[in-house]
Structure 1
Amino acid sequence: MGRRWNELSQGQRGFIILAAVAESAIKAAMLIDLKRRPADQVRGPKWLWASSALVNSAGILPAAYFIVGRTR
């Protein structure tokens, strides 16, 4: 079983908080871009990409959207 929050060092806590903020920022950027982009410029259904924001993916799914999910 994992350690509790109060058992973590300050550095470990800071890393977790930084990672959560970074993941939230990239998910927000993905959702904003997805809302503004027309459906014909998105590979796959927009609702599927938007629902991927609900999954804890360590930023992999939003990065995938920016790399392969959009057309130019």
Structure 2
Amino acid sequence: MAVTHWMADNARVRWVEQDEPWAMESQFVSRFDLPLNLDQNRHNAFNGRLNELRAQGAHHRRAPGHPRPAGG
């Protein structure tokens, strides 16, 4: 829930039609501090810790007895 609240207060969404969106993504990731974008963002100080937390979450979701998400 903390991430949800942080995103509600801080995240903004914009879009632009682009033939090669991956090129624009690379520019944004290199110019701005986007800690939740792990792909191409290894320079961010939070990257290693967020990768650890995501791995722990994935391990927990695979644990016996953990309910599967709907549709998953």
TM-score (norm 1): 0.33
Which structure is higher in RCO with an 8 Å CA cutoff and minimum separation 6?
A: 1
TM-score (norm 2): 0.33
